[in-house]
C-alpha cells in the first residue's frame, strides 16, 4: 500500500512515524513508536477502530503504564490496613514491576502474563506462588477500572494455574513433645499454643496478656487482628493452661512491663525461623513448617470428635473447602480405623453366628418333634 494512501494522517517526525486524527472535534497527534510505515499504518487503523466502536479512552489513559497503576493498589492496601502489604510490596519490587512496569496498560494482555508464568515456572516458582502474583495483577486492573474516571478500558484475562502443591505435613504426638523440647524456652509457649489452637502465626505473635483470661479459660482475639477480620474466642485446655500460667508468673516477676504473651526477654517475638529449623532438623522432620501445626490441630479436633463448626470457629477457617484440606488422615488414623472396624464387625459376626445357630437349632428341634409325633 502506498504511503500516500492516508494523506497527511501518517507522517514522519524525526525517524518515528506519528499519526493525526480528530476525536470529538479535537485534533490529536500521537507517536506510533515505530520507524516502520506498515506498523504505523496498523496503529492508525487500530485507533480509528477504537473511535468507531467507542473503545477509545483518550491519550492520557493510553499512556498509563502498569507501574503507575500499582500506586493505587498500595494506597488501597494502606487505607484498608491490609496485613499483606509488606509481602505485596516485595512481590511487586522483585517480580511484577521488572516484568510489567514499563508496559502500557492499554497494550497489556494475556500474552504478557503467559510469558511471565512460563518464566516463573522455569525459575522453579510454585503454582501457588505464581497465583498470588497474578492475583496482584488482577487487583491492579480492577482498581484501575473502578477509578473515576477509569484508568483502563478493559481487564485482561488472568491465566491462573491449578494449585497442585498443597502441603500435607502434620505432627504426631511424640514429635510434638520432641520438637517442643528442642526449641528455645522463649518459643515453647508459642509452639504449644499453635499446636492446640491451629491459629495462624500472624494472629498469635501480637497477642497481649490483657486478651488472656486464665480464670475463664479463654483467650480473646479482637476483631481486626485476624485474617478474616472477625474476633474469636480460643479455649484454654490441656497442658496449654499450665504453660500460660507459668509464662504469666515469669512475666510478672522478671518483665512486669511487657504486655506481649510471646516475647524474648520482654521484647515481642517477630521471627523464629532459624530456631524452628534447628529444632525440626534435630527431631528428624526437617521439612515440617510452623503452618503444619494448623492442619495438625484440625486433624486432632476431628479425631477427638469436636464438631466441625466449633473447630472452624477456633482455627478461623471460613470455608469448608479450605478446612477439608487440613483434615488429613494419617497411617495411624487408618490403623485405628481398621482396628475399630474389625472389632465392630467381629461383634456383628458373633451376634450373627449366635442367631444362625439359634435358628438352626430351633429348626432342628421342630424337625425332631415332627418326627416323634409321627
pTM to 2 decimal places: 0.56
Give the number of residues written for the chain.
Answer: 374
Per-residue confidence (pLDDT) for residue 194, from 0 to 100: 94
Quote the DSSP letter at residue 9: S
Query: Which residue from 337, 343, 273, 269 is spatially nearest to 302, judged by alpha carbons?
Result: 337
Per-residue confidence (pLDDT) for residue 51, from 0 to 100: 72
Q: What's the CA gap between 29 and 22, in Å, rounded?
A: 9
Query: Which residue from 17, 139, 156 is spatially nearest to 74, judged by alpha carbons?
Result: 139
CA distances for 101 relative to 39, 67, 215, 342, 351, angstroms: 23, 4, 55, 63, 75
Kindly give the parts of the chain with pLDDT less than 70: 1-7, 24, 54-62, 164-169, 321-338, 340-341, 344-345, 347-374
Q: If you count DSSP H runs as helices and E runs as strands, how many of each does the chain have, helices first? A: 16, 8
**Dihedral-angle region of residue 238 (phi above 0 means left; psi in -120 to 50 means alpha; beta otherwise):** left
Per-residue confidence (pLDDT) for residue 298, from 0 to 100: 85
Q: What's the CA gap between 196 and 348, in Å, rounded?
A: 37
Amino acid at each position: 500500500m502506498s504511503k500516500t494512501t492516508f494523506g497527511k494522517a501518517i507522517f514522519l517526525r524525526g525517524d518515528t512515524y506519528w499519526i493525526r486524527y480528530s476525536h470529538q472535534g479535537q485534533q490529536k497527534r500521537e507517536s506510533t513508536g515505530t520507524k516502520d510505515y506498515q506498523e504505523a499504518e496498523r496503529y492508525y487503523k487500530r485507533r480509528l477502530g477504537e473511535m468507531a466502536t467507542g473503545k477509545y479512552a483518550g491519550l492520557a489513559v493510553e499512556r498509563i503504564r502498569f507501574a503507575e497503576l500499582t500506586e493505587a493498589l498500595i494506597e488501597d492496601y494502606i487505607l484498608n490496613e491490609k496485613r499483606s502489604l509488606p509481602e505485596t510490596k516485595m512481590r511487586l519490587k522483585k517480580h511484577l514491576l521488572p516484568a510489567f512496569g514499563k508496559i502500557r496498560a492499554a497494550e497489556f494482555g494475556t500474552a504478557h502474563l503467559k510469558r511471565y508464568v512460563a518464566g516463573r515456572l522455569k525459575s522453579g516458582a510454585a503454582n501457588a506462588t505464581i497465583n498470588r502474583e497474578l492475583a496482584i495483577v488482577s487487583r491492579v486492573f480492577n482498581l484501575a477500572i473502578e477509578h473515576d474516571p477509569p484508568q483502563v478500558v478493559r481487564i485482561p484475562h488472568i491465566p491462573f494455574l491449578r494449585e497442585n502443591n498443597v502441603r500435607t505435613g502434620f505432627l504426631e504426638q511424640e514429635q510434638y513433645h520432641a520438637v517442643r523440647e528442642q526449641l528455645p524456652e522463649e518459643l515453647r509457649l508459642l509452639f504449644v499454643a499453635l499446636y492446640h489452637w491451629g491459629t495462624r502465626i500472624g494472629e498469635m505473635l501480637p497477642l497481649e496478656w490483657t486478651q488472656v483470661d486464665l480464670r475463664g479459660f479463654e483467650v480473646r482475639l479482637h476483631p481486626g487482628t485476624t485474617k478474616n477480620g472477625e474476633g474469636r474466642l480460643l479455649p484454654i485446655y490441656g497442658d496449654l493452661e499450665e504453660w500460660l500460667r507459668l509464662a504469666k508468673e515469669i512475666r510478672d516477676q522478671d518483665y512486669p512491663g511487657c504486655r506481649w504473651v510471646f516475647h524474648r526477654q520482654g521484647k515481642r517475638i517477630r521471627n523464629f525461623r532459624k530456631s524452628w529449623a534447628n529444632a525440626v532438623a534435630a527431631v528428624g522432620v526437617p521439612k515440617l513448617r510452623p503452618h503444619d501445626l494448623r492442619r495438625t490441630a484440625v486433624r486432632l479436633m476431628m479425631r477427638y470428635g469436636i464438631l466441625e463448626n466449633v473447630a472452624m470457629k477456633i482455627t478461623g477457617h471460613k470455608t469448608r473447602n479450605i478446612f477439608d484440606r487440613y483434615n488429613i488422615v494419617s497411617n495411624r488414623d487408618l490403623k485405628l480405623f481398621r482396628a475399630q472396624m474389625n472389632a465392630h464387625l467381629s461383634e456383628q459376626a458373633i451376634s450373627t453366628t449366635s442367631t444362625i445357630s439359634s435358628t438352626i437349632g430351633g429348626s432342628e428341634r421342630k424337625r425332631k418333634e415332627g418326627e416323634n409325633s409321627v
